[in-house]
Amino acid sequence: LPEDEKMLYGEFKKDFIWSSATASYQIEGAWREDGKGLSIWDKFTHTPGKISEHDTGDVACNSYNKMEDDIAALKKVKVSHYRFSISWPRILPDGTTKYINQAGLNYYKKLLDSLIAANIEPQVTLYHWDLPQALQDVGGWENETIIERFKEYADVLFENLGPKVKLWITFNEPFVITVLGHVQGAHAPDTLPYIVGHNIIKSHAEAWHVYNDKYRASQGGLVSITVNSDWAEPRNPYKQEDYEAARNVVEILNLIFNLLHPLMSSLIQFLLEFLFSRLPEFTPEEIKRINGTYDYFGLNHYCSVLAFPVDFGTTQHFEADRGVVVISDRTWLETGSVWLRMTPFGLRRLLKFIKDEYRNPPIIITENGVSENGPVDLNDVHRKYYYEKYINQVLKAYLLDDVNIIGYTAWSLLDNLEWGVGYTERFGLFYVNRTDPDLPRTPKASVSFYSSIISCNGFPDPASGPQECWNPT
Ligand code: GBH
């Protein structure tokens, strides 16, 4: 075996966060129940031709009405934490605090109480892509007034739910919101400019300051943001320019933490100018306001890519702006999603990169997981393999590279609405039978596998650890 793939025995730190995740639009359903307003994803999925098989989140996993089932699933996995997101239009139907929908707040209060009763701590995301349509109608993230709207929304959540929450995530993947939602149109709302990224960063900073000024002293939680970052290797390891292309890919995906970081390197300044050349510059006061507004590094990671530079001339699209194209190596194992190949080695390298680049922040992996498509097979060996290899790479980063890793989150608890590809790709630890109107959750084989890693807090040496822990096969 190459050094990279050898398993390492050992355990994570005490009180390690072991979690699994979902997002409101992907699981809740109940799209018009109890006063919920419409979101941009309601509109997008109801637009013909946008989603595979005309799938929508109208019902999804019906988690809005099946909370008990979800809690039972979490208990079965034995997670210490559960990451879910709040549907903004369920709380504020037109996006503003003019009207607060008490039924929506009650749903999340009840969810928090049920989790706490089950001894599971919540990790709550404020924005996992389902913007109130009413705000989109006035420009959404392109309109800078959204910064104030987001700040007010965050304030409502901190005030009403904050006493029960210790871990907050403002935005899930600003890069996806900006590039897929606005630059490429693969996601809602399908409009163009990068200005969205600029406004998201400011919105995040305002929410962090609200928490810091008004709630931190009494609630004592942590607030951060989550980026999606692949790891990138040079396509040709003998070409210097491919190394630079790979480095740029990773820098750009993590860009937001450079802005939040008190010290901006000259490389970052260069990248910012280059990528966001059509954007207003942040003023020194704005930079000051943004700097340092994170309490940990939130990371969603799925796979690695190979990078090389391409000059697209004057064409305007994201790859052209970046000047880099990424591909995968055909020897890497495939999964149920074309963009996702099994590359466990990259996660350790990425964690080491984050440690070095951002001065050793505490890191929470807020998503990591794998999909299948096609016929149902509850014996998901590929997922067991994926979790075993990836989580072991996280252990190596912790024990061998001294990375300050404090948590790991498996995406996803349930098979759910996988955005543009609908229900055709399934990331769940639990299978959700969509042909049964009751939408029962059935554990896949990976549930007991992940659960044993959790119970053993990693991969203790079987010679000294409990017998039911991971054993080399
Ligand atoms: C996560 O994003 C999301 O947070 C989560 O909601 C989602 O269910 C999960 O991934 C699984 O997809 O099809 O070539 O356009 C992960 C980052 C970035 C991965 C966009 C998929 C689309 C590539 N995602 N990417 S492509």
Confidence of residue 345 (pLDDT cuts 50, 70, 90): very high
- Please state the φ and ψ torsions of residue 287, each to the nearest 5 degrees: -60, -40
Distance from Cα 217 to the centre of ligand 1, integer Å: 35
Distance from Cα 337 to the centre of ligand 1, integer Å: 9
User: Helix 67-77 and helix 102-117: axis angle, to 10°?
Assistant: 30
Q: What is the pLDDT of residue 275?
A: 58
**Which residue's alpha carbon is nearest to atom 2 within ligand 1?**
228
Task: Express each pLDDT in 411-449 by its tens digit.
Answer: 999 999 999 999 999 999 999 999 999 999 999 999 999
Strand ranges for 329-449 from DSSP E: 363-367, 405-411, 430-432, 441-443
Look at residue 387 and give its three-state secondary structure: helix
Give the span between the Cα atoms of 67 and 115, in whole angstroms.
10
Active site residue 367: yes
Name every protein residue with a CB atom under 6 angstroms from any ligand 1 atom.
Answer: 23, 172-173, 176, 180, 186, 228, 300, 302, 339, 367, 411, 418, 427
Distance from Cα 279 to the centre of ligand 1, integer Å: 25
Share of residues in the chain with pLDDT > 90 (%): 78
Kindly report the pTM of this predicted structure: 0.96
Q: Does an H or E element contain 449, and which?
A: helix 445-455
- ipTM for the predicted complex comes to 0.96
Nearest-atom index, ligand 1, CA of 172: 4
Is 251 in contact with 271 (CB distance < 8 Å)?
yes
**Which residue's alpha carbon is nearest to atom 16 within ligand 1?**
228
Distance from Cα 173 to the centre of ligand 1, integer Å: 9
- Please state the φ and ψ torsions of residue 43, each to the nearest 5 degrees: -65, -45
User: Helix 344-357 and helix 381-399: axis angle, to 10°?
Assistant: 30
Nearest-atom index, ligand 1, CA of 228: 17
**Which residue's alpha carbon is nearest to atom 21 within ligand 1?**
339
**Which residue's alpha carbon is nearest to atom 18 within ligand 1?**
176
Give the span between the Cα atoms of 130 and 39, in whole angstroms.
5
Tell me the average pLDDT across 363-382: 98
Residue 36 DSSP code: P
> If you write DSSP's letter for every residue of 54-116 in order, what string do you get?
G--SSSTT-TTT-HHHHHHHHHHHT-SEEEEE--HHHHSTTSSTTS--HHHHHHHHHHHHHHH
Nearest-atom index, ligand 1, CA of 418: 8
Task: Express each pLDDT in 278-330 by its tens digit.
Answer: 666 778 888 889 888 999 999 999 999 999 999 998 777 778 878 899 999 99
User: Mean pLDDT across the chain, nearest whole number?
Assistant: 92
Does pLDDT of 361 surpass 80? yes
Q: What is the pLDDT of residue 3?
A: 66
Distance from Cα 300 to the centre of ligand 1, integer Å: 9
**Which residue's alpha carbon is nearest to atom 7 within ligand 1?**
418
Among candidate residues 367, 388, 418, 425, the one labeled active-site is 367
Please report, for the chain, how many H helices and E strands are present, in that order.
18, 15
